[in-house]
Every structure is written in C-alpha cells, then in structure tokens.
Structure 1
Amino acid sequence: MSIDPRPTQTAIHTNLSAIFVSMELSRSVWLITSLSPGAGEKMSKHSVRSGDVAELLARFAQLKEKARVRTGQIFPIIVIQEAGLDGFWTHRVLQREGIESYVVDPASIAVSRRRRRAKTDRIDGEALVRTLMAYKRGEPRVCAMVQAPSPQEEDRRRLVRERKTLMVERVAHVNRIKGLLFAQGVTDYEPLRGNRRQRLEQLMTGDGRPLPDHLKRQISRELDRLELILQQINTVEAERDALFVAAADNGQRPSPAAILMSLKGIGTEFAGVLWLEGLFRHFDNRRQIASYAGLAPTPWQSGSIDREQGVSKAGNPRLRTTMIQLAWLWLRHQPQSALATWFRHRVELNAGRIRRVMIVAMARKLLISLWRYVTLGMLPEGAALRTA
C-alpha cells in the first residue's frame, strides 16, 4: 500500500486575529456564519429572527465568550454582508456598537462557473467569510466593498429618485388618455395643457359623435390622477431647489449643483442628479468615478483575442443614464468645447452605430471633466459659462 508523502493541507488558516462573521439576510431569518480562533477550520452557523438586533448582538457576545474560553484572549468581531434589499441600516447598527462592518457588492464575488452550481444560504455564508478573510489579508481585488452613504446623503437623493418615478407615472397617464381617445378618432388632445378639462367637453369622435359618457368619466378620473402627479412633481421640485439653496448658504463655497448649473446646457435636474447620485462622494482618481457610473471599459483579452465588450454597466444606473443624455445635450449647447470637437472629429468619417458608441465614450470623458470642475475648479476646456 502506497502512502502519499504530501502533508495534508488545511482549508483555512486557524491562526486568526479576529472572529470573522458573515450575515445572510432574508425576510424571516438571518443566517450567521462565523469562524473563530481556536475552533479549527470548522465554521459555525446560527440563525436569528429577521430584524432582531438584540438577539444578533447576544449571538456575537456568545461568539466572543467562546473564543475567550478556548484561547484566553478577547478577539474583535468583523462582519460582512451583501448589499441588497435591507439597505444599510444593519451596517449602521453594527458600526454604532463598535463592530467592524463591511458591505460587499455580491456581483463582485467569484463563484463557480459550472452550468449547474450548488447555491444555498449556507454555501453563500461560507463564501462570504472566506472573501472577508482574503480582503483583510490585503487582497483588494478579491471583492468590491460598497461605500455606504451617510443617512443624510441617502435621504436627500430621494428627491431626484422620486421625481424620476413621478415622471414615469406622468408619461403612463398621458399615454393612457391618448390611447383611449385615439381609439375614437381623436388625435389632437394634449392632457398636459391647462385647458384639458374644457377641451375634454368639446371633443368629438372621428365619426362626428360626442364622446361616450363612460369614456368621458374614465378620462376625467385619469385626469384627476394626472393632476395629482403634476402637483407632487411641483412639490418635489420645490424641495429640490430649496435643498440647493440651503447647501449654498451653509458652505463657504457654492454647492456642487450650483457650480454645475453655471455651465451652459446643465439645468437644475441634471445638476441635481449629478450631485446627489455621484459627485457627493470622494473619488481618488478618474478611473474610480468612471467605474462608479458604470462607464468604464470592459476588455476581453485571452491569447490572440483582444477586444472590447463595451462599458461595464456595473455602477449607478441613474448616473450613467443621465450622463449619456447630458452628452447629447453638450454637443448642442457647447459646440465649441474640446469634447464636442473631439466627438465630431471621431465620427466625421463614420455614420450609424459609431455615433452611439462614441457618445458613451464622450459621456465618460464629460463626467470626469465635470468632477474635476466641481472638486478642483478646472473648467472643461472650451466650455461656455451661463450668461447672467
């Protein structure tokens, strides 16, 4: 009988300096997976009721006490959880209790590429613990940690997000009213005009009949909902404008939104989205802000294969969409700027899809230029300021 001379490899280093804990959060149960000093390579798993912070902290205290009994030392607890539906409130609770806590982007964690891979909360919990240990060992590329916003930053960006939701609802009501009338041969009715009620009473079908009574009542109820949406949009916009004024008054320098609105072609809504969705954060370099917006390139290189897959789309979708819209408007309102000249030079000999590809590249360059303008005061080359 042959004997393998190779020593048995340990799956996990047991010489730990902390208690590593992962949390798998769900609506009913929180699964707690931990690896403690002195417990070998075996991970322990416990569950607590969802939202029961007292029970969670009691479980952490038990883990610390067991580790102290085994080793005679007191170890800190390091916790990791995935960013998801629960937001950041549990992360803030742990930080308030003096516990080192991390929130990880779940899409950045490497998983098996088999077609049918096993996936359970227990497997995911162990993978999170291993990811956390690798991150604390100094492997920054093992995952992407999420920078949690402060409660104030998280709350004030609700204004631009609520306005976006209301605008979608407004479009839905307008299209529904137009669709109902189009089926009767009416094509010239505009529900957003101030005389929508009076105009509704005067409408005639395409074959010369007055609008049917039930249809008119249905459209009237649609107008009630539309007018409520319009009122709420005005309220949200007023709160947003007041926020910009307050930010400018409280600081020694103008708010980022006010700085952006000094450029021709950038209005209140674009400035609000850029500030509240992206430029309120700190970025070390241009690559970080391009990656945060999901506008960073994604190469595919293997051997002789070397091609681009397009932008990553892994960042903030609201910021990315706004920047692409702003890039098109930048060509119209800032035609003499260096970015507009660069765009025209790249597409002058091409047509069709190349414009849609290059506008994304221009959106990335424009975002970096606006970030430098807000943080460093570097005006984009050739850009025109708004006249008083």
Structure 2
Amino acid sequence: MTATPQNQCITRQNTLYIGLELSERTWVVAFSDTLGRKPRIKSMRSGNFKKLEAEILHAKQRFGLDEDCPVASCYESGRDGFWIHRCLVAKGIESYIVDAASIQVNRRGKRAKTDRIDACKIVAALIRKLKGDEFACQMIHIPSHIDEDERTLNREMRILKKERTAHTCRIKSHLNGQGIKSVTITASFEANLAKFRTADDRPLMPRLQASLRREFKRIQIVNEQIRDLQAEQADLIRTAVKDNAAKDKQPGARQPESPSNAASQAAKLIQLCGVGPVLSWTLASEIFSWRNIKNNKQLAALVGLVPTPHQSGDVGKEQGISKAGRGELRVLLIEAAWGWLQFQPQSDLAKWYNAKFNDGTSRNRKRGVVALARKLLIALRKFLFEDEIPAGAKLSQQLSFARSPSLIPPQTPSA
C-alpha cells in the first residue's frame, strides 16, 4: 500500500471526486467536490466509459467546476482488478484503488448497506484521504503490466498444486470407502488398480475402477503442467543468476538499492541456504519487485505478521497477529521459518529462536516460529536491497551451469 503524495494533500481545490461501486452489470457512481455536500448519484452499465465521461461533464456543471478541472476517482479492490484503473488513467483521470476493509462503517448491530450508500462512502473517504486524513482509508499499490504478469506463474502453480491435492484426496476417499487404507499414489497406481482388494476380499467394481482411472489421469495432467511451470521458473532464475554474475564482474554496473524484476531478485534470494525457488520467486513477484515498502513494520503488516493489541483503561491484552493480506504468503513464510531452523541452525535467527522458544513445549515452538517468520522476512529484504547477509547464515555453493542443472528438486511420481 502507498501513502498519498504530499503535494496532493490539503492544497486540492476545484477538483471533482468520483466514487465507483462496481458490480457485474451496473456501476453506481457518486460525484462530489467537497465534504458535507450531498453527492450526485448516477447508475450506468458496467464498463460504459462514454457514459461516465458524459456524467463527469454534467457533474462539473452541477458543482460549478471548470471544464478542465482535475478528476480523481476511486473504487474498491476486488474481482475487477486493475483494468478499470488503467482505463481511467488512459483517459486522464487520476485513479486510486482503496482497500475495502479500511473504509469506516457504522458499528451498530444492523446497518443499511446499498450500492448508493457504498458509493457515497467511497467518495467521502477519497476526499478525506486526498485532503490529508491518513486515517480515512488505505490505498493499495498498483502493479504495472509486467509486474502483474510475473505474478501469474507462481499463482497458477499454487492453484495446480491445490487441484492435485483435491484429486489425490478424492481417490483416497473412494478407496477408504472400500476399506482400503494407506494407499500411496505413484506412477504405477493405474497398473496396480486391478490388484486392490476391498475389506471383504473382493476386487473393486468396474465403474469404480473406471472412475479412479479418470481421476488418476487428471493427476497426471496436473503433474505435467506443474513440471512445465517449474521448468519455466527454473530457466528464468537460472538466466537471472547468469546475468547477476555478469554484472558483478563490472564494477558500478549493479545498484542493489534500485528495484529489479522478479527473476533477478529471486536469483539473489536463492543464494541463501534454506531459500528455494518457490519462496524466492513468491517473495520477489508478490512483494519486493514492485511494492514501495518504506519500513519493516509496513513489510510485516503486508503479510499480517504484526500484533493487534486491545487496550482500554485498565484492560489490556494481545489479540495475536493481524492476519491481514494474502494468507498464502503468511503460510509460506511460516513454512520457510521451519526450513530456516533446519538449514541454517548456526544463524543468529535460529539461535535466538532456540534460546527463547525451544523449551520443549509445542505451544511455545509454534508461537515462536511466527515471530521467526517476521524476522526472516525482514532479514531477506535487507539481504536483497542492502546486501546484508543474515548474521551467521551461510550461502549455497556456487551454481555451475556446465551441466545445465535444475534449480528445482526432481519431480517424484508420487502425487
């Protein structure tokens, strides 16, 4: 997320503000020029930018604004993504995307909610934000076309892995219904299907066998697609490693503090032992390559690894981490923290964890690994942009491309 530019705060005059409430078929648009005035509400067909431009001219006349006055628009982040923002910017309209959860609402048990009310709330939050109220709402950072495309590879791989897990669980569920337990789905599963015997020593029924074969073929298709994506990811990282090595040989050619693309950053992160291609590519494409992160607190808040205190008078308690942002990133970082303890036991982070949390109780170890995940994320950011190797951590061996090695582990036949 990004803060509002300082030169746009408080000094705004003669500006038309627009709040868009989006749906599949209809857009509800609220126009206003200042707080305290009833917004002008109009409905239009979804994606009808010609109608929107006409309504903008009518709104300027309604509020007595100049025809060439600036226009600032805002809508909630959601399914539509960033295409509306890019279309608005192409038409000369200043555009923002607001985090829907950050807009203030009435806290009563029951509150009215309509598209018109939501559009008015969006435009009011936009006016407050651009006039300097930092607590009005939170705007999200918008990636470029290239940055958004780089995220596709990792996200598709995550979807395929979930799909593979679903097919595997479905096969095991069918077999469990016949009393067949502890089945490992390998490449020879289809050939051995006729040998399976139910709990009452009968072969599987023909239709059930046919269903299991179809399910297994779906697993094979998904495995093939995952291997293709892993090979593509490995090639990108491998190429970036070569490019980074070539730049290191030329003094002054590389500037670590300047942002780089996801492949180049992933190639640098993978130099640390315990950091694999999945973690490095995910952090690079989702966080480091295009977000303007100012401090460590903002970085931890991005993945929901910040505390949420609750204090009122003499009552004070800690509610745990915020769990904001993408849950997949938080889960991956916690997994990476466990891996760090295994592959970097001599690092200061591992020693800190063992001294403070590894007291033999499972509860403390689980709590501690969340704190370790936050510290690890900050350490990886410093390593990437400041060339500061985590204290006590070791780097992986020099990568050799003589035999064109793969940066990913070999694909096992097991599903």
TM-score between the two structures when normalised by the length of structure 1: 0.89
Asked if 2 retains the 8 angstrom alpha-carbon contact of 1:301 and 1:307, the reply is yes
Matches within 5 A, 1:174-193: 174-187=168-181, 189-191=183-185, 193=186
Match of 2:336 among 326, 343, 368: 326
Query: Would you say how many aligned residue pairs link Structure 1 and Structure 2?
Result: 371
Residue 103 (structure 1) shift: 0.6
1:305 aligns with 2:315: yes
Change in CA separation of 1:126 and 1:210 when aligned onto 2, cut-off 3 Å = closer
* Distance in structure 1 (CA, Å) of the matches to 2:178 and 2:62: 76
For the residue of structure 1 that corresponds to 2:135, the secondary structure is helix
Change in CA separation of 1:72 and 1:235 when aligned onto 2, cut-off 3 Å = closer
Letter in 2 for 1:118: A
For the residue of structure 2 that corresponds to 1:157, the secondary structure is helix
Structure number with higher relative contact order (C-alpha < 8 Å, ≥ 6 residues apart): 2
Letter in 2 for 1:387: Q
Residue 137 (structure 1) shift: 1.3
Asked if 2 retains the 8 angstrom alpha-carbon contact of 1:278 and 1:319, the reply is no
Residue 24 (structure 1) shift: 0.6
Residue 40 (structure 1) shift: 8.3
Residue number in structure 1 paired with 2:86: 92
Asked if 2 retains the 8 angstrom alpha-carbon contact of 1:23 and 1:80, the reply is yes
* Distance in structure 1 (CA, Å) of the matches to 2:93 and 2:66: 20
* Distance in structure 2 (CA, Å) of the matches to 1:285 and 1:102: 22
Matches within 5 A, 1:23-62: 23-36=20-33, 41-62=37-58
* Distance in structure 2 (CA, Å) of the matches to 1:72 and 1:324: 54
* Distance in structure 1 (CA, Å) of the matches to 2:243 and 2:61: 47
1:278 aligns with 2:271: no
* Distance in structure 2 (CA, Å) of the matches to 1:61 and 1:31: 16
* Distance in structure 1 (CA, Å) of the matches to 2:36 and 2:352: 60
Asked if 2 retains the 8 angstrom alpha-carbon contact of 1:36 and 1:63, the reply is no
1:267 aligns with 2:276: yes
For the residue of structure 1 that corresponds to 2:41, the secondary structure is strand
Residue 80 (structure 1) shift: 1.1
Asked if 1 retains the 8 angstrom alpha-carbon contact of 2:274 and 2:340, the reply is yes
Letter in 1 for 2:207: H
1:106 aligns with 2:100: yes
Identity %: 38
Residue 141 (structure 1) shift: 2.2
Match of 1:335 among 342, 345, 357: 345
1:236 aligns with 2:229: yes
Relative to structure 2, which stretch is displaced further, 366-375 or 313-322? 313-322
* Distance in structure 1 (CA, Å) of the matches to 2:239 and 2:143: 20
Asked if 2 retains the 8 angstrom alpha-carbon contact of 1:17 and 1:75, the reply is yes
Relative to structure 2, which stretch is displaced further, 308-317 or 53-62? 53-62
Matches within 5 A, 1:348-359: 348-349=358-359, 351-359=361-369
* Distance in structure 1 (CA, Å) of the matches to 2:83 and 2:243: 27
Asked if 2 retains the 8 angstrom alpha-carbon contact of 1:294 and 1:311, the reply is yes
For the residue of structure 1 that corresponds to 2:320, the secondary structure is strand
For the residue of structure 2 that corresponds to 1:78, the secondary structure is strand
Residue 127 (structure 1) shift: 1.5
Change in CA separation of 1:113 and 1:71 when aligned onto 2, cut-off 3 Å = closer
1:257 aligns with 2:266: yes
For the residue of structure 1 that corresponds to 2:309, the secondary structure is strand
Asked if 1 retains the 8 angstrom alpha-carbon contact of 2:60 and 2:67, the reply is no
Residue number in structure 1 paired with 2:192: 199
Letter in 2 for 1:214: R
Residue 283 (structure 1) shift: 1.1
Change in CA separation of 1:349 and 1:215 when aligned onto 2, cut-off 3 Å = closer
1:317 aligns with 2:310: no
Q: Deviations over 1:168-201 (max 9, x none)?
A: 111121122222223334335422x222222223
Asked if 1 retains the 8 angstrom alpha-carbon contact of 2:74 and 2:122, the reply is yes
Change in CA separation of 1:121 and 1:66 when aligned onto 2, cut-off 3 Å = same
Residue number in structure 2 paired with 1:19: 16
Residue number in structure 2 paired with 1:7: none
Relative to structure 2, which stretch is displaced further, 109-118 or 236-245? 236-245
Letter in 2 for 1:59: E
Asked if 1 retains the 8 angstrom alpha-carbon contact of 2:309 and 2:317, the reply is yes
Q: Where does structure 2 lack aligned partners over 5 or more consecutive residues?
A: 1-9, 248-253, 255-262, 399-415
Task: Give me the CA root mean square deviation.
Answer: 2.3
Residue number in structure 2 paired with 1:142: 136
Change in CA separation of 1:162 and 1:40 when aligned onto 2, cut-off 3 Å = closer
Q: Deviations over 1:130-177 (max 9, x none)?
A: 211111111122211010111211122111111111111111211222
Change in CA separation of 1:238 and 1:53 when aligned onto 2, cut-off 3 Å = farther
Residue number in structure 2 paired with 1:365: 375
For the residue of structure 2 that corresponds to 1:198, the secondary structure is coil
The structure number with the bigger radius of gyration is 1
Change in CA separation of 1:95 and 1:212 when aligned onto 2, cut-off 3 Å = same
Residue 263 (structure 1) shift: 0.9
* Distance in structure 1 (CA, Å) of the matches to 2:13 and 2:392: 56
Letter in 1 for 2:26: V
Q: Deviations over 1:306-326 (max 9, x none)?
A: 222111111222211110111
Letter in 2 for 1:26: S
Residue 352 (structure 1) shift: 3.2
Q: Deviations over 1:15-36 (max 9, x none)?
A: 9420111111111111110113
* Distance in structure 1 (CA, Å) of the matches to 2:326 and 2:216: 34
Residue 247 (structure 1) shift: 4.7
Q: Where does structure 1 lack aligned partners over 5 or more consecutive residues?
A: 1-12
* Distance in structure 1 (CA, Å) of the matches to 2:235 and 2:60: 48
